[in-house]
């Protein structure tokens, strides 16, 4: 399973932090850690459960939330190359490819490219 979590500077809400801690096994997490370590994102892998958690800083910038239309929504099927990232992300019932937030998806692709270079 893959989890993408975004933290706003002012929102380290208790439920999100509890979820991250349980998935990642980390005791300290969230915006303060990212800020302290001057990193844009963390990747946690939980070997027991097979979960991969990517936690990254969000922003208040319009371009970080909005894509072209529909609050940044984009179909994974718009580009065949997008399907490789989340082949199992489908609409329940119809089996069509899911709609994702374009800006978050672009951010994930950037993180993925960074990890491949390392």
More confident position, 83 or 79: 83
Q: What is the pLDDT of residue 87?
A: 72
Element at 52 (helix H, strand E)? strand 51-57
- Is the pLDDT assigned to residue 94 strictly greater than 80? yes
* Domain residue extents for the chain: 1-58, 61-118
101 pLDDT band, cuts 50/70/90, is confident
Comparing CA positions, the residue from 41, 39, 55 lying closest to residue 2 is 55
Q: What is the pLDDT of residue 42?
A: 58
Q: What is the pLDDT of residue 31?
A: 45
pTM of the entire predicted model: 0.51
Q: What is the pLDDT of residue 7?
A: 47
């Amino acid at each position: 399973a893959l989890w993408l979590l975004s933290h706003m500077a002012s929102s380290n809400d208790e439920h999100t932090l509890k979820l991250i801690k349980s998935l990642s096994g980390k005791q300290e997490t969230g915006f303060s850690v990212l800020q302290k370590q001057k990193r844009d994102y963390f990747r946690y892998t939980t070997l027991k459960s097979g979960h991969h958690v990517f936690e990254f800083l969000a922003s208040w910038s319009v371009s970080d939330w909005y894509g072209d239309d529909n609050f940044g929504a984009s179909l994974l099927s718009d580009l065949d190359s997008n399907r490789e990232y989340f082949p199992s992300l489908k609409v329940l019932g119809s089996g069509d490819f899911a709609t994702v937030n374009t800006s978050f998806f672009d951010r994930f692709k950037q993180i993925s490219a960074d990890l491949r270079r390392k």
